[in-house]
Copies of this chain bind each other. A is one copy, B any other.
Amino acid sequence: MKLNPRLTLSGLVVVALGLAALATRAQEALPSWNDGPAKQAVLDFVTATTTQGGPQFVPPEARIAAFDQDGTLWVEHPMYTQVMYCLERVPDLVKAKPELKNKPPFSTVLELLHGDRAAMEKLNMKDLEIIAAATLTGMSVESFDAEVKKWIAEAKDPRWKRSYTDLTYQPMQELMRYLRTNGYKTYIVTGGGQDFVRMYAEQTYDIPPEQVVGTAASTKYGYDKQGKPFLTKEPKLILNDNNAGKPEGIHLMIGRRPYAAFGNSTGDKQMLEYTKAGDGARLAMIVLHDDAAREYAYGPAEKLPDTKVGTFTQALYDEAKKNGWTVISMKNDWKTIFPFETK
């Protein structure tokens, strides 16, 4: 650093006090984080990439941070919110198309919704794909958007009896705000449906639709009887935004490599690798659900219970440790889990 010759001692004191104030503000920006390596990794990364003239300074326009959603920004157990949406749309679907009522997998979903929890076991991936295609495509973008908004406003999580949008993680909300305050553009990069997540991301996370990258199907342009144009949601996949699809989706939708990425499962592995492979300071963090009391505990990494929803394998844990990703322990790193706890 080249010192300004006119910099006086009193000037240096002012600078030092300014830096101390900045450090305090950084601490204050993450009140729900316990002191420890995870919080420190965030503070160090932001300092390194925003210090003008520093060796790892990143110009503001290149400051991109990518967040997985399910299990990283909000609760994903016992089942992804969007799967709940698809299942709970089936009764209306059957009303519109009565011929589906006694036909699996739709009949199985009706049994499940009527309280037969064992029926869930009968649904395989192929069934879920059929249900997804039937409930997420075939309608206009406007109809779909209205249905999702209505459902999100009414639906409740079975354990907390709260809106799904109440079940975001307070420490991650603080982290996103802290990054934005420091010039980062925050993106959601989710395996969930892009159109679905866009319906609540702005209100829930302050993330606008154009900063939501997700699994996407094509739409088809057409005209209604009055000649007014509209888009219909088609059952043709454009982007499967999971695993290798995450860096591919980031290239398609953002066009630059993120400087920071956050995930929680094997579906985020390639996004974290791709982020960390860039030059300069790069932050890769992965949330470990190790708090059965306050949220859920699952892995199977670190001998936590195995799961099919948001799997975090031991191999992924080992890769994190080897490649300098920071594992966030919900139990140890987070003072509070949900925003409603702090109110």
Which of A's residues lie within 8 Å of B, judged by CB? 61, 64, 141, 185, 194-195, 198, 202, 208-210, 212, 216, 218-221, 228-231, 238-239, 244, 247-248, 251-256, 270, 273-274, 277
Contact = CB atoms under 8 A, between A and B. Distances in A.
Contacts of A198: 255
Contacts of A248: 218-221, 231
A247 B220 CA distance: 9
Given A229-B247, A238-B238, A253 B210 contact: yes
A247 B274 contact: no
A43 to B, nearest CB: 26
B141 A229 contact: no
Given A229-B270, A247-B231, A270-B229, A255 B194 contact: yes
Nearest to A141: B251
Nearest to A201: B255
B221 A270 contact: yes
A195 B252 CA distance: 8
Nearest to A217: B252
Contacts of A277: 228-230
Number of copies: 2
A339 to B, nearest CB: 22
Contacts of A219: 248, 251-252
B221 A256 contact: no
Given A221-B244, A238-B238, 10 more contacts: A195-B255, A198-B255, A209-B255, A210-B255, A216-B252, A219-B248, A219-B251, A219-B252, A220-B248, A229-B247
Contacts of A209: 254-256
Nearest to A61: B208
A229 B274 CA distance: 6
Q: Which 5 A-B pairs have the closest CB atoms?
A: A209-B255, A221-B244, A210-B254, A229-B273, A198-B255
Nearest to A233: B251
Contacts of A247: 221, 229, 231
A251 B231 contact: yes
A202 B274 contact: no
A256 B210 contact: yes
Contacts of A185: 210
Contacts of A64: 210
